[in-house]
Structure 1
Amino acid sequence: MDTLLGIAGEGFVVLAADAQVARSILLYKNNMDKIAHLADNKALACAGPQSDCVSFTEYISKNMALYELNNDVKLTTKAAATFIRGELAKALRKGPFQTQLLMGGVDKREAGKDEASLFWLDYLGTLQKVPYGAHGYGAAFTLSVMDREYVKGLSLDEALGIIDNCIKELHTRFLIAQKNFVIKVVTAEGIKVVRGPPTPDLGAAGASAEAAAVPVQG
Structure 2
Amino acid sequence: MECVFGLVGKGFALVVADTSAVNSILVHKSNEDKIMVLDSHKLLGASGESGDRAQFTEFVQKNVALYQFRNGIPLTTSATANFTRGELAKALRKSPYSVNILLAGYDEETGPSLYYIDYIATCHKIEKGAFGYGSYFSLAMMDRHYHSGMSVEEAVDLVDKCILEIRTRLVVAPPNFVIKIVDKDGAREYAWRESIKDAGVVAAA
TM-score, normalised with respect to structure 2: 0.94
- The alpha carbon displacement at 1:8 in A equals 0.5
CA distance in 1, matches of 2:177, 2:191: 7
**1:11-50 matched pairs, under 5 angstroms:** 11-50=11-50
Which residue of 146, 152, 156 maps to 2:148?
152
Task: Supply the distance in 2 between the matched residues of 1:11 and 1:49 (Cα, whole angstroms).
Answer: 32
Per-residue displacement from partner, 1:76-107 (whole Å, max 9, x unpaired)? Answer: 00010010000000111101110011000011
| Deviation at residue 197 of structure 1 after TM alignment | 8.3
State the SS of the aligned residue for 1:165: helix
Q: Are the equivalent residues in 1 in contact too, given 2:8–2:148 (CA < 8 A)?
A: no
Distance in structure 2 (CA, Å) of the matches to 1:125 and 1:2: 19
* Conserved? CA contact 1:2–1:47, under 8 Å: yes
8 Å Cα contact 1:10/1:115 also seen in 2: no
In the TM superposition, what are the counterparts of 1:69-108 in structure 2 within 5 Å? 69-108=69-108
Q: What are structure 2's unaligned runs of at least 5 residues?
A: none
Q: Distance in 2 between matches of 1:184 and 1:73?
A: 24
Flag structure 1 segments of 5+ consecutive residues without an equivalent: 210-218
> Which of these residues, 118, 122, 143, is aligned with residue 122 of structure 1?
118
Return the letter of the residue paired with 1:26.
L
Indicate yes or no: 2:199 matched with 1:201.
yes
Offset, 1:10: 1.7
**Aligned equivalents of 2:166 and 2:193: distance in 1?**
18
Identity %: 42
Larger Rg: 1
Deviates more, 1:67-76 or 1:32-41: 67-76
Describe the SS at the equivalent of 2:148. Answer: coil
Runs of 4+ aligned residues of structure 1 deviating over 6 Å after TM superposition are: none
Pick from 162, 169, 173: which aligns with 1:166?
162
Instruction: Judge conservation of contact 1:19–1:197 (CA < 8 Å) in 2.
Output: no
Q: Which amino acid aligns with 2:139?
A: L
Please tell me whether the aligned partners of residues 16 and 182 of structure 1 are also in contact (alpha carbons under 8 angstroms): yes
| Structure with the largest fraction of strand | 2
Q: Which amino acid aligns with 1:31?
A: N
Q: Residues 184 and 193 of structure 1 are in contact (CA less than 8 Å); yes or no, is this contact kept in structure 2?
A: yes
Task: Give the drift of 1:188.
Answer: 2.2
Q: Is the 8 A contact 1:20 1:31 kept in 2?
A: yes
- Quick one: distance in 2 between partners of 1:171 and 1:49? 22
Rounded Cα–Cα distance in structure 2 between residues aligned with 1:201 and 1:195? 20
C-alpha separation between the residues in 1 aligned to 2:187 and 2:65? Answer: 17
What is the TM-score with the length of structure 1 in the denominator? 0.88
Letter in 1 for 2:30: N
Distance of 2:184 and 2:52 partners within structure 1: 28
Letter in 1 for 2:199: D
| Number of aligned positions between the proteins | 203
